[in-house]
Amino acid sequence: MSVSAQAREAADVSFPERIRTFLAEPRFAAIATVDPDGSPHQALVWYLLKGDGLVINSRRERRWPRNLMRDERISVAVQDWSDPEHWIGLKGRAELLHQGDDALRDIMAMARRYRSNPDQYRGQDRVSFAVRATRLFEYGAD
């Protein structure tokens, strides 16, 4: 791979408007992180769309946040439930964004977005990550 190809792959990708519109809907995201032994770890998560990235949130002690604190690589797939063959995928990096009260505000915003009770998250030790895409895919679009 040439140096310029490496640079393009490492640069953050902007979301086209049709993908931003798709991700603005409250859909579930399947994420994959890297376990310490190198094997993939998957989870379903809520997310918020923020600019050309996603915000994801979890309890700090779960495996996938611990994986991201050690290795920032992440893969995300978001499916269109009304058209199961249509989905968006991205590969990228996740950076620790918020902890403590700020992370609690994030999960409460997600709970409202996904029509869940935000109060159930009070008092939890949570973390939020900003996910930036370095590669973006769309499959099954009309």
The domain containing residue 73 runs over which residues? 3-139
Non-local CB neighbours of 124 within 8 Å, separated by 6+ positions: 59, 104, 107
Q: For 56-61, what is the mean pLDDT? A: 98
Q: pLDDT tens-digit profile of 84-95?
A: 899 999 999 999
pLDDT given for residue 141 in this prediction:
80
Q: For 31-49, what is the mean pLDDT? A: 98
d(CA 27, CA 138): 15
Helices (H) then strands (E): counts for the chain: 4, 7
Give the CATH number, domain containing residue 96: 2.30.110.10
Q: For 71-78, what is the mean pLDDT? A: 98
Non-local CB neighbours of 2 within 8 Å, separated by 6+ positions: none
Query: What is the number of domains present in the chain?
Result: 1
The reported pTM is 0.90
